[in-house]
RNA sequence: GCCCUCGUAGCUCAGGGGAUAGAGCACCGGUUUCCUAAACCGGGUGUCGCAGGUUCGAAUCCUGCCGAGGGCGCCA
């Protein structure tokens, strides 16, 4: 294809700079296997490189052009760079496009390159190039998706429930989105460190511990472990507001807790332990990867807080105001354009969550040595986090080489357009929501497939019900609010988990019939003559690029959109192209390979979202 | 008052500067001697909130306005 001396190749160097343009090499440059040709299934990257090469050949510095290759309605792909070059070169864009074609650089991969419209380059791939890459992907455990290069050490902060407080739909979003991001970045080769920033400290623990004393330790621990957190918290709160004696005891209890009183700490620990047992159960039900090892609760930072404050003072960043110690990060203003404070030490000498968050940043960069911090936290926290990040930058705790993202998400709304609540206006317990999801899935399965053995039905109900809830949460842009609707998310039609799961089982069924379910050596050649075959082939080869984009933008919904398109494209193929009854043995093998690759890609994509792909439904 | 986010088909949503803005639902019609009909195929929908600007080209980038939600000092 082209020489191996990539390091000195100006077109490649320029192309790599191009893909790194986001700033700090967060995007993946094309990886070069030792053999010197691209095994990477990502054909867009290969085409872009050839376009850069063509640009260089007509005397354009490839570092200064955007190859702009994308899927096209008019050909397999299109490159849109000629129009942008017209003014610079003082030539009509169609002439430039023609000159790019004339270099012959695109001939390796393309059977046909044509100028269209104002100067689009319509690229039609050579069948051989498609076939070759499909076979490489089919042979590869990773479906032709290379590791990201360079890889990063990434802290993902997500879920973050509160001790002795019910988990609700807000935690659902953080947990599900965070889990998908963890799985995705892990798959792409990054070293991922999940951090569950559990809320286990603060003033409410005074009343919670007093309530524990009133209810009895044994009984409270038992109730909390099985998820009766909401009623416990509520009772404590009611006592606190209605009984001045209780409130006074609670206030004294906070002081004792902060002072490290042993007996108080023991009771606090009891609340923490019982709650964490419950969280683990919910995580198991949700089928997310979070484990007790990932716990990094707020209290763990307590010992570091005085030092954080001392350092901020000695750096001259923290100043006293109205008795409190404040940092004023650049760029944040509140009412009357006054700078907004981050209160790092309260008037009473205590520390709030800002200080804890600063300590956490420090721990993650210094001790965990992360160079990428991801906070999967609701959108309302945007200003707070921006201030924490800015203060950390100013304090030198976040270097320029560390990327930080607030991966914000919107609210879950009911069908009334308001925040999802029960009819009585209370927040919906996450655990109840999951139970209902499984129950609804079970009912559907009983209707459609009454003969299924009970244990299989239960497994399936879990896979479908939990998958539906998670997929509904992941499939639209996380930043927007989303409307929760059982019927939509459990539908077999549309962009839903059950639809994808069903598409996957249909594929598995074909493979079963072919006796090829376990091992399927790929065909020697993949036929892409039929438009439906070709469309499927092109879609399959876009998997890696989709994952890269989803990871770069931290948008799991891009994976969903891709998988739905893949399933739709497959369906069209499946209708148009007989597989087992194709004309020749060769064609059967080719189409079976397409089926197998599609099935594996669907399963892999769903797995990255934390959703199971059962073999039968 | 200031700041942030959102506004795309009747509904739920895709669309990160490119050609004619796309799906699903809903609605209408069709498909089962045929690889899972829990499915599939066909049928028409738009002042991309409004107005300017940048650009060869804007749903996409910038500014202003309107509408919705959220945030703005010691809760986390």
Q: What is the pLDDT of residues A279-288, one digit of tens each?
A: 999 999 999 9
Structure tokens at A156: 């993902």
Q: Which residue has the tokens 């091992």?
A: A519
Q: Considering A381, A406, A431, which residue would you say is the last residue of a domain?
A: A406
CATH at residue A313 = 3.40.50.620
Q: Considering A290, A313, A335, which residue would you say is the last residue of a domain?
A: A290
SS (H, E, C) A580-607: CCCCCHHHHHHHHHHHHHHHHHHHHHHH
Q: Is A303 exposed, middle or buried, given 0-12, 13-18 or 19+ CB atoms closer than 10 A? A: exposed
Q: Are residues A209 and A329 in the same domain?
A: no
Q: Is A401 exposed, middle or buried, given 0-12, 13-18 or 19+ CB atoms closer than 10 A? A: exposed
The ipTM estimated for the assembled molecules is 0.97
Residue A444 Cβ < 7 Å to strand B: yes
Residue A13 included in any domain: yes
Lowest mean pLDDT among A166-180, A195-209, A323-337, A468-482: A323-337
Nearest of A508, A431, A500, A503 to residue A472 by alpha carbon: A500
Give the whole-angstrom CA distance, residue A222 versus residue A191: 37
First to last CA, chain A: 45
Q: What is the pLDDT of residues A256-285, one digit of tens each?
A: 999 999 999 999 999 999 999 999 999 999
Q: Are residues A387 and A283 in the same domain?
A: no
- Please tell me the number of Cα atoms within 13 Å of A562 on its side-chain side: 28
Residue A443 Cβ < 7 Å to strand B: no
**CA A542, C1' B28: Å apart?**
36
Supply the range of the domain harboring residue A341. 153-199+298-406
- Helix ranges, A369-427 (H): 382-394
Q: Are residues A118 and A14 in the same domain?
A: yes
Residue A375 Cβ < 7 Å to strand B: no
Q: Are residues A375 and A255 in the same domain?
A: no
Residue A572 Cβ < 7 Å to strand B: yes
Q: Are residues A285 and A325 in the same domain?
A: no
Looking at residue A528, its pLDDT comes to 96
Residue A120 Cβ < 7 Å to strand B: yes
Nearest of A558, A537, A534 to residue A546 by alpha carbon: A558
Residue A29: pLDDT over 60: no
Q: Which residue has the tokens 């290759």?
A: A69
Nearest of A309, A310, A275 to residue A295 by alpha carbon: A275
CATH at residue A85 = 3.30.1360.70
Banded model confidence at residue A416, pLDDT cuts 50, 70, 90: confident
Q: Are residues A110 and A175 in the same domain?
A: no
Q: How many domains does chain A have?
A: 4
Task: Compute how many other C-beta atoms are within 10 angstroms of the C-beta atom of residue A63.
Answer: 17
Residue A13: pLDDT over 60: no
Residue A519: pLDDT over 70: no
In degrees and rounded to multiples of 5, residue A295 shows phi and psi of -65, 125
In degrees and rounded to multiples of 5, residue A396 shows phi and psi of 80, 15
Give the whole-angstrom CA distance, residue A135 versus residue A311: 57
Residue A114: pLDDT over 50: yes
Task: Compute how many other C-beta atoms are within 10 angstroms of the C-beta atom of residue A419.
Answer: 15
Q: Are residues A520 and A590 in the same domain?
A: yes
Q: Are residues A186 and A317 in the same domain?
A: yes
C-alpha distances (whole Å) from A164 to each of A117, A209, A276, A278, A532 are 64, 10, 9, 10, 55
Give the whole-angstrom CA distance, residue A517 versus residue A506: 12
Q: Are residues A10 and A117 in the same domain?
A: yes
Region A62-77 average pLDDT: 92
Q: Are residues A179 and A309 in the same domain?
A: yes
Q: Are residues A515 and A598 in the same domain?
A: yes
Give the whole-angstrom CA distance, residue A70 versus residue A45: 10
Residue A27: pLDDT over 80: no
Q: Are residues A398 and A344 in the same domain?
A: yes
Which nucleotide is closest, CA of A381 to its C1'?
B71
Give the whole-angstrom CA distance, residue A133 versus residue A23: 30
**Which A residues 32-61 have CB within 7 Å of strand B?**
none
Residue A338 Cβ < 7 Å to strand B: yes
Residue A516: pLDDT over 90: no
Residue A65 included in any domain: yes
**CA A479, C1' B6: Å apart?**
8
**CA A342, C1' B72: Å apart?**
12
């Amino acid at each position: 294809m082209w020489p191996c001396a990539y390091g000195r190749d100006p077109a490649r160097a320029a192309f790599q700079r191009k893909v790194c343009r986001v700033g700090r090499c967060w995007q993946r440059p094309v990886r070069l296997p030792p053999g010197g040709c691209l095994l990477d299934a990502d054909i867009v990257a290969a085409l872009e490189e050839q376009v850069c090469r063509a640009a260089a050949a007509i005397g354009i510095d490839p570092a200064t052009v955007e190859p702009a290759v994308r899927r096209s309605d008019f050909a397999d792909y299109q490159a849109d760079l000629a129009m942008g070059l017209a003014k610079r070169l003082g030539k009509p864009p169609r002439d430039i496009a023609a000159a790019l074609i004339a270099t012959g650089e695109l001939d390796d991969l393309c059977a046909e390159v044509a100028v269209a419209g104002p100067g689009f380059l319509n690229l039609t791939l050579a069948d051989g190039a498609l076939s070759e890459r499909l076979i490489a992907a089919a042979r590869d455990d990773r479906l032709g998706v290379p590791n990201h290069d360079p890889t990063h050490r990434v802290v993902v902060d997500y879920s973050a429930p509160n001790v002795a407080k019910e988990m609700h739909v807000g935690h659902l979003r953080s947990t599900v989105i965070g889990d998908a991001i963890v799985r995705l970045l892990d798959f792409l080769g990054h070293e991922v460190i999940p951090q569950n920033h559990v809320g286990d400290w603060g003033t409410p623990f005074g009343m919670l511990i007093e309530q524990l004393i009133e209810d009895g330790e044994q009984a409270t621990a038992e109730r909390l472990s099985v998820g009766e957190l909401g009623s416990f918290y509520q009772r404590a709160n009611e006592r606190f507001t209605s009984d001045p004696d209780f409130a006074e005891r609670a206030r004294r209890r906070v002081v004792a807790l902060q002072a490290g009183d042993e007996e108080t700490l023991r009771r606090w620990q009891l609340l923490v332990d019982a709650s964490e047992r419950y969280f683990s159960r919910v995580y198991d039900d949700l089928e997310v990867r979070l484990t007790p090892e990932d716990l990094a609760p707020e209290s763990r930072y307590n010992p570091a807080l005085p030092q954080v404050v001392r350092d901020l003072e000695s750096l001259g960043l923290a100043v006293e105001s109205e008795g409190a110690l404040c940092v004023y990060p650049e760029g944040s203003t509140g009412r009357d354009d006054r700078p907004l404070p981050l209160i790092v030490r309260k008037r009473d000498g205590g520390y709030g969550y800002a200080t804890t968050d600063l300590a956490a940043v420090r721990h993650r960069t210094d001790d965990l040595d992360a160079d990428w911090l991801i906070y999967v936290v609701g959108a309302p926290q945007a200003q707070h986090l921006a201030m924490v990040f800015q203060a950390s930058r100013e304090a030198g705790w976040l270097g320029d080489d560390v990327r930080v993202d607030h991966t914000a998400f919107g609210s879950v709304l009911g069908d009334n357009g308001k925040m999802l609540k029960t009819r009585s206006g209370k927040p919906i317990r996450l655990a109840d929501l999951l139970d209902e999801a499984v129950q609804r899935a079970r009912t559907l399965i009983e209707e459609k497939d009454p003969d299924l053995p009970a244990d299989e039905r239960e497994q399936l109900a879990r896979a479908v019900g939990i998958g539906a809830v998670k997929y509904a949460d992941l499939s639209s842009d996380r930043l927007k609010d989303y409307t929760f609707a059982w019927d939509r998310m459990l539908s077999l039609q549309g962009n839903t988990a059950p639809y994808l799961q069903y598409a996957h089982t249909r594929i598995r069924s074909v493979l079963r019939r072919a006796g090829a379910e376990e091992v399927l050596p790929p065909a020697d050649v993949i036929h892409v003559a039929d438009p439906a075959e070709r469309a499927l082939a092109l879609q399959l080869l876009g998997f890696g690029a989709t994952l890269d984009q989803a990871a770069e933008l931290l948008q799991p919904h891009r994976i969903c959109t891709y998988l739905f398109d893949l399933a739709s494209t497959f369906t069209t193929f499946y209708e148009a192209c007989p597989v087992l009854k194709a004309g020749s043995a060769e064609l059967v093998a080719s189409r079976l390979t397409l089926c197998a690759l599609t099935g594996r890609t669907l399963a892999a994509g769903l797995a990255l979202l934390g959703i199971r792909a059962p073999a039968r439904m």
